[in-house]
Chain A
Amino acid sequence: MAETTKMAEDTKTDFDPNIVAFLCNWCSYAGADLAGTSRIQYPPNVRVIRVMCSGRVNPLFVMNALQQGADGVLISGCHPGDCHYMQGNYFARRRFNLMRNFLEYVGIEPERVRMSWVSASEGAKWKEVIEEVVEGVKSVGPMDSFKRRQLNW
């Protein structure tokens, strides 16, 4: 019994989280690219999905990612005022503020759903953001509350 509790604690901190990142084409994706070309080392837990704008990200994407086994979701876009489409990131900001609060209310830790502004020149900030997100997800452990389970018939 004691061993299993210890094992549970171990998996909570020492696991490789899956993080799905929705990056906007114009800023954050280029920022992540810059981090890559500048050979900045950051945790390899992020799976990037490129979208045209952070305003494209539907809250259902987040919910679906968590259901399909992501331990955390990151949405990243241009800084306010820098959006390629003028206002997309403002809409996204409203949506995900509500979504985050709501998921916290239902019992999904707020560390799992993060949002950031990373511009195309901020490769170093991208590293910091990823480090913080990975650390946050590791602190709350694997996502298994409402993950979709495969049934073994």
Chain B
Amino acid sequence: MVDINKLREIAKEVISRDDVRQVIGYRPGTYGFRARPAFVLEPDDVDELIFTPACVNNLATYITLEEKLPVPRGQEPDSRKVAVMVKGCDSRALVQQMEEKAYDREHLLILGIPCRGVVDMDKVNARFPDVLEKGEIALEGDKFVISFNGTKEEVAKDELLADKCKRCRYPTPLVSDQLLDDEVERFAEDDYSDIETLEKRSQDEKWAYWEEKLSRCTRCYACRNVCPMCYCEDCVLNRIEPMWMRRSVDVSENTAYHIARAYHLAGRCIQCGECQRVCPMDIPIMELNRKFYKDVADLYDYEPGTDAEASPLLSTFSVDDREDFIL
């Protein structure tokens, strides 16, 4: 695991630089095992920074989420860098954003954290319900060590590990200015077995499955807001004219919303799993995104978020693309 003192030392060094505006990292939450994003502006604030398996958030979201206020006349915009701590999966979001030219590489200072996996908070809360005092989670070997309220418990890694980490193919950040730890070797593979079982069902079964899941959606748009790739300033969902999907919460509009959301991530989703994590209704959103991820890999041999120099999938074409579906 990352040495906490080394992490704070590097963060302090970085925030003391003149060309760095802020460091985005993690700090302990207010209760339970949670960690939350920390925005460090002063060198004195680095002491709250942590990195544990509870640090599930994808901080790449905040790079594009930051509101750019108009600058008063005669003043220059703040061009100092933003330093951000990223795990392997989060670094791919940065790569994909740069591939889409959302900002320049010079805008960022990337502190890469080689990651051995994070927990799924739902699994932790199911196993240790109603922990209100602050607890800690650490990864030792292939066990999570959970300590709270004076007790210490060891749980096998597989039991609490987030699903996305079980098929993580890039544990070490693909892009970074400084690595905070030694590189981690790939420890998992993705076989798309979950998608393939769904694909094999009949059309009626598929629709019955998705109708049940999507009818739960309350259209809170948390999945859109948390997504590091959803950074359009003018989102189709906010448009009144044309109104592609209505605001009403019913099966038809919910399905339309989820089709549109997933399609907008076709060839862009980098499998960080944030949408599914934040979903209050437990909709398996990643099963939608992963279908595109699999198709894009199968049909066009393209993997999002691995090469900042590549062109985005849907803004390029090849003359030899498959067309066996065309009449």
Interface residues of A (CB under 8 A from B): 59-60, 63-64, 67, 80-81, 87, 90-91, 93-110, 114-117, 129, 132-133, 140, 145-149
Contacts and interface: CB of A to CB of B under 8 A. Distances in A.
- Main secondary structure, interface of B, reads helix
Given A91-B317, A97-B322, A145-B207, 6 more contacts: A91-B315, A94-B321, A96-B325, A98-B296, A106-B207, A106-B288
Nearest to B296: A98
Interface of B: 198-199, 203-211, 236, 244-246, 250-253, 255-256, 259-260, 262-263, 266-267, 288, 291-292, 295-296, 299-300, 313-315, 317-319, 321-323, 325-327
22 contacts: A60-B244, A60-B263, A64-B256, A98-B263, A98-B267, A98-B295, A101-B295, A102-B266, A102-B288, A102-B291, A104-B203, A105-B198, A106-B210, A106-B255, A106-B288, A107-B208, A110-B325, A114-B327, A116-B327, A129-B327, A148-B253, A149-B252
A103 B314 CA distance: 18
A93 B259 contact: no
B209 A115 contact: no
A63 B319 contact: no
Contact of A109 (B203, B208, B262, B291): B203
A114 B327 CA distance: 7
B288 to A, nearest CB: 8
A117 B252 contact: no
A59 B327 contact: no
B198 to A, nearest CB: 7
A114 B246 CA distance: 26
Contact of B211 (A87, A91, A115, A145): A145
A93 B203 contact: no
A56 to B, nearest CB: 14
Contacts of B266: 98, 102
- Main secondary structure, interface of A, reads helix
A132 B327 CA distance: 9
A90 B321 contact: yes
B321 A102 contact: no
B145 to A, nearest CB: 40
A101 to B, nearest CB: 5
A94 B256 contact: no
A101 B291 contact: yes
A108 B206 CA distance: 9
A107 B209 contact: yes
Contacts of A115: 325-327
A90 B319 contact: yes
B300 A100 contact: no
Contacts of B236: 60
B116 to A, nearest CB: 32
A52 B259 CA distance: 25
A81 B319 CA distance: 9
Closest 4 CB pairs of A and B: A107-B207, A107-B206, A90-B317, A116-B327
